[in-house]
Amino acid sequence: MSNIKLFESKHIRSIWDDKAQCWLFAVVDIVAALTDSQNPQVYWRVLKKRLLAEDNETVTNCNALKMTAPDGKQRLTDVADTEQLLRLIQSIPSPKAEPFKRWLARVGYERLEEIENPELAAARMRELYKVKGYSDEWIEKRVRGIAIRDELTNEWQKRGVKEQREYSILTAKINRATFGMTPTEYKAFKSLDKPADNLRDHMNDLELIFTMLGEASTTEIAHNKDAQAMSRIATPPRLTARWQAAHGATSKRNPASASPARKTTRLCPKQWRANG
């Protein structure tokens, strides 16, 4: 499970390690948050080189995992767990060090709470969306959609899908079958140009319903056909015609927005071709 966390408005990329039962954080994001450096990549590269020369064990034990970079591409990124970060920040002079330590402790504690009581995670998610201005009806659909997505990825994992690239390819196929666009094309259509922008957080109720339909039917197909490899996993029949009949055009407005945009709809780039 990967997501973006906030420390004093700074985005911190993170991945939950199920095996080790801990969060892994992008070190360069931590450097950016603590130093306000204009080029945190260079700062970390220089610091890492110095610490390696000193045989610093923390840096030696840092792993690299693929994460979504600011340009939207998956790139290898140095990551560290809480214990490693607590040691690492001793080498970074910053007045934010102590607040950051408290932030790390809170993030870890909240995750342990959620493991013990999964309902807490859903409750916190609902509260976060509520604060952002989403309606209760929209929030319920979003939470249900996340559960359906988890069921789908679990089904894929059981059938040999392991790499992030494979998940992305299959997800793109479902999105194209549902809306006539890949997620990347859909984000461009909605003018979502920041890597941190979550496409589904900018969908309206109907878009969320069709997304759930596409992913739930894909899960059912994979289960019934007992597909055992990515190349044999089927995606749902094209839903574009049904989407066009139900909606005809898609909204570019964030559903949390209180005031309507001047232009809220636009025909999809492919004019919603109904080809099956």
* Angle, vertex CA 187, rays to CA 26 and CA 175, nearest 5: 100
pLDDT at 141: 92
Average pLDDT over residues 249-265: 49
Q: What is the pLDDT of residues 4-41, one digit of tens each?
A: 666 666 788 888 777 777 788 899 998 988 887 888 88
CA dihedral 50, 54, 56, 62 (to 10 degrees): 40
Average pLDDT over residues 115-135: 76
| Residue 28 · residue 48 · CB < 8 Å | no
Residue 211 pLDDT > 90: yes
Average pLDDT over residues 178-203: 86
**CB atoms < 10 A from the CB of 164, how many?**
14
pLDDT at 238: 60
pLDDT at 222: 80
- Measured distance CA(91)–CA(74) in Å, rounded: 28
Q: Which residue has the higher pLDDT, 56 or 276?
A: 56
Instruction: Find tokens 């299959």 and name the residue.
Output: 170
Q: Which residue has the higher pLDDT, 60 or 200?
A: 200
pLDDT at 261: 34
Task: Give per-residue burial for 65-86: e unless 16+ CB within 10 Å, then b.
Answer: bebbeeeeeeeebbbbbeebbb
Average pLDDT over residues 100-126: 69
Proportion of the chain above pLDDT 70, given as a percent: 71
pLDDT at 23: 81
Residue 61 pLDDT > 50: yes
What pTM, to 2 d.p., does this model score? 0.54
Residue 80 pLDDT > 60: yes
Residue 259 pLDDT > 70: no
